[in-house]
């Protein structure tokens, strides 16, 4: 008997007590009241955006809010670049070229850059798939517009990420619901909440270990 058959046989023997008719999965839509957690948020778009800005800032991402207008984004990108003395930015396919300020040299990932080449760039400028207000999280979907492949947003030491206001959802469940489509397309998903960090040495938090050590978020506010 193969290990596969042996394991499955042991599993079946072990759970022989379970009634065959029992539903094999938890269904949040039919949960008993004691398991009915909040799946949708309650905030209006302005409050949602404000919460995202506050929460992502808690993780020491640098957050800039600007108008929903490419020129305003470009100005914010320019400011972020000057804060970090960055000039050459990797730019994934699908990124709005109007987000690029003068003086920044875009480096296309086409043909795909070698890891050393990516690491040698000053930073990466990307969009995102969505963002989660409650947790201050940015979600990237590999292959999605302006998001590129995973290595592009991992190896440069500075990640500038543009979050458009309407991309912000309030809760984690709302975010997971919107991941079904990119996952079905086999896109790799990366959830980013602040720059990388470790507390491994005496529990002292150190920002920036292996991922980009600096995360700049540019949040566009449609009401501005």
Partner 1 sequence: MTPSGGFPVAAREAVADSQLRANLRGATHAIRDKRAAAVAEVADWQELREAGRLIKERAMRHLDRHLEALEAAVVAAGGQVHWAGDAAAANRIVGDLVAATGSTEVVKVKSLATDEIGLNEALAARGIDALETDLAELINQLAGDTSSHILVPAIHRNRAEIRELFLRELPDPGELDETPGALAEAARRYLRERFLRAEVAVSGANFGVAETGTVGVVESEGNGRMCTTLPRTLITVMGIEKVLPRLTDLEVMLQLLPRSATAERMNPYTSLWTGVTPGDGPQEFHLVLLDAGRTNALRDEVGRQALHCIRCSACLNVCPVYERTGGHAYGSVYPGPIGAILTPQLADLDQGATLPWASSLCGACYEVCPVKIDIPTVLVHLRGKVIRREAGGGGAEDAAERLSMKAAAAAFATPRRYRLAQRVVLPVLRLLTGVPGLARIVPGPLAAWTSVRELPEPPRETFSDWWRGRS
- Give residues 96-115 in contact with partner 1 (rule: CB under 8 A): 112, 115
| Shortest separation between residue 178's beta carbon and partner 1, angstroms | 11
| Shortest separation between residue 123's beta carbon and partner 1, angstroms | 15
The residue with tokens 């949602």 is: 48
Binding mask 158-197 for partner 1 (x = CB under 8 A): --------------xx-xxx-xx--xx-xxxxxxxxxxxx
The vertex-175 CA angle with 141 and 140, nearest 5°, equals 20
- Residues with Cβ < 8 Å from 203, sequence gap 6 or more? none
Please give the order of strands across the beta sheet that includes 123-126.
62-67, 214-221, 158-164, 123-126, 88-91, 105-108
Count, residues near partner 1 per rule CB under 8 A: 79
Choose one: 46-54, 73-81, 161-169, 205-213; the region binding partner 1 (CB under 8 A). 205-213
Give, as ranges, the residues between 7 and 36 that touch partner 1 (CB under 8 A).
Answer: 7-8, 10-15, 17-18, 22-26, 28, 31-32, 34-36
The correct pick among 2, 85, 102, 103 for binding partner 1 (CB under 8 A) is 2
Q: Among 109, 73, 118, which Cα is nearest to 91's? A: 109
> DSSP state, 9?
H
Complex with partner 1: residue 164 or 190, whichever CB lies closer: 190
- Note whether 201 binds partner 1 by CB under 8 A: yes
The correct pick among 94, 209, 222, 224 for binding partner 1 (CB under 8 A) is 209
* CA–CA separation, 138 and 191 (whole Å): 6
- Note whether 119 binds partner 1 by CB under 8 A: yes
Render 47-97 in DSSP notation, one character per residue.
Answer: HHHHHHHHHHHHTT-EEEEEESSHHHHHHHHHHHHHHTT--EEEE-TT--G
Choose one: 62-70, 73-81, 123-131, 149-157; the region binding partner 1 (CB under 8 A). 149-157
């Amino acid at each position: 008997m193969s290990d596969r058959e042996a394991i499955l046989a042991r599993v079946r023997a072990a759970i022989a007590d379970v009634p065959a008719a029992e539903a094999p999965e938890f269904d949040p839509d039919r949960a008993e009241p004691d398991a009915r957690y909040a799946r949708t948020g309650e905030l209006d778009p302005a409050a949602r955006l404000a919460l995202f800005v506050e929460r992502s800032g808690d993780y020491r991402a640098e957050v800039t809010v600007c108008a929903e207008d490419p020129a305003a984004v470009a100005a914010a990108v320019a400011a972020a670049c000057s804060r970090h003395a960055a000039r050459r930015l990797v730019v994934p396919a699908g990124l709005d070229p109007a987000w690029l300020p003068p003086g920044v040299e875009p480096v296309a990932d086409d043909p795909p850059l070698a890891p050393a080449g990516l690491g040698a760039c000053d930073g990466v400028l990307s969009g995102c798939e969505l963002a989660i207000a409650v947790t201050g999280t940015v979600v990237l979907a590999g292959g999605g517009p302006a998001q590129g492949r995973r290595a592009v947003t991992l190896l440069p030491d500075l990640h500038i990420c543009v979050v458009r206001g309407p991309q912000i959802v309030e809760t984690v469940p709302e975010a997971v619901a919107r991941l079904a489509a990119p996952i079905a397309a086999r896109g790799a998903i990366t959830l980013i909440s602040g720059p990388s960090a470790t507390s491994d040495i005496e529990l002292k938090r150190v920002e920036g270990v292996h991922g980009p050590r600096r995360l700049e978020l540019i949040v566009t506010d449609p009401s501005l």
